[in-house]
Amino acid sequence: MVATQRKTTQKKRFNDVVKAESRNLDFYYADGTQALKNVNLDVYENKITALIGPSGCGKSTFLRSFNRMHDLYTGNRYDGQIVLHPDNTNILDKKVDPIEVRMRISMVFQKPNPFPKSIYENVAYGLRVRGEANTHVLDEKVEEALKGASLWEEVKDRLHDLAFNLSGGQQQRLCIARALATEPEIMLFDEPTSALDPIATVNIEELMSELKKKLSILIVTHNMQQAARISDYCAYMYLGELVEHDLTDKIFTNPSKKETEDYITGKFG
């Protein structure tokens, strides 16, 4: 047997390294709804890419394609590719196991969704799933993840309390710690602050800017100010299509498409 040499790929655009790219991505729900139409979008390494657009335009659908969440329900269908670099893997390929994809790309949901278990067990779960049983390793990684999610100081004395006893903002940071513990390459956020109060929102936003030093972030947000505040790149979607994708500064000051400008300025949406 000859060990196969993996071909590694590296691409740059806008002077940034491409971590993942969707190529001609179409997506159909089981009932036949086409929710994505030919979407081509890059996600850059150590950058935050924000998806904006009116409700129902396909932002969540696009995001959830990145960890094959749609595979949980029968009848959903992808067309096209999402290629992950540097290994050049098409993660939508039928031969690629969705579990492998989810082990590389983690996700934080709209509503904080901790398990009805202890704080510790919530964070440790991703590691346990990977077969980690050594308590020292688990303790260490749980602490590291909680620190990474700036939650450690608040919970270090009650790691074995139920996660439900935390406030909404703390629960969401716990979910971030859970997603972080497994050291993902990309983290997906689907409107992570829409259920939180303004202070908790600021905390999460600051946290994301910290996180991008370690990984790449793709975030859906309903809130244009949030996109402007935290993202490096911004993509405007409408009716399942990608209208415009550019540096955030460019999108918010000088968009090249009329539709984007109308949306940004609040004339539409």
Ligand X SMILES: Nc1ncnc2c1ncn2[C@@H]1O[C@H](COP(=O)(O)OP(=O)(O)O)[C@@H](O)[C@H]1O
Separation of alpha carbons 231 and 252, rounded Å? 11
State whether residue 229 is helix, strand or coil.
helix
Element (H, E) at 23: strand 16-28
Q: Count interface residues toward another protein (CB under 8 A).
A: 26
Beta bridge partners of 28: 34, 77
Give the tokens for residue 227.
């996109």
193 is a contact residue toward ligand X (CB under 6 A) = no
CB of 159 to another protein, least distance (A): 17
User: Angle at CA 10, nearest 5°, toward 183 and 63?
Assistant: 50
Q: How many other C-beta atoms are found inside a 10 Å radius of the C-beta of residue 207?
A: 21
Closest to 146 measured CA to CA, from 169, 180, 192, 197: 180
Separation of alpha carbons 89 and 163, rounded Å? 36
Select the residue interacting with another protein from 49, 61, 106, 248 (CB under 8 A): 106
CB of 197 to another protein, least distance (A): 20
State whether residue 151 is helix, strand or coil.
coil
113 is a contact residue toward another protein (CB under 8 A) = yes
CB of 68 to Mg ion, least distance (A): 17
22 is a contact residue toward Mg ion (CB under 5 A) = no
State whether residue 103 is helix, strand or coil.
helix
With CB under 5 to 8 Å by kind, the binding choice for 56 among Mg ion, ligand X, another protein, none is ligand X
Closest to 62 measured CA to CA, from 166, 218, 233, 179: 218
Chain positions 60 to 119 lying near ligand X, rule: CB under 6 A, are 60-61
Select the residue interacting with another protein from 17, 90, 96, 103 (CB under 8 A): 103
DSSP states of 44-64 as a string? ETT-EEEEE-STTSSHHHHHH
Chain positions 26 to 65 lying near Mg ion, rule: CB under 5 A, are 60
146 is a contact residue toward ligand X (CB under 6 A) = no
59 is a contact residue toward ligand X (CB under 6 A) = yes
Nearer to ligand X among residue 60 and residue 89 (C-beta): 60
With CB under 5 to 8 Å by kind, the binding choice for 24 among ligand X, Mg ion, another protein, none is none
Nearer to another protein among residue 107 and residue 242 (C-beta): 107
245 is a contact residue toward another protein (CB under 8 A) = no
Longest distance between any two alpha carbons in the chain, whole Å = 62
Positions touching another protein (CB under 8 A) are 67, 69, 72, 74, 99, 102-103, 106-107, 109, 111, 113-116, 125-126, 128-130, 162, 164, 175, 178-179, 182
Positions touching ligand X (CB under 6 A) are 29, 31, 33, 35, 53, 55-61
Positions touching Mg ion (CB under 5 A) are 60
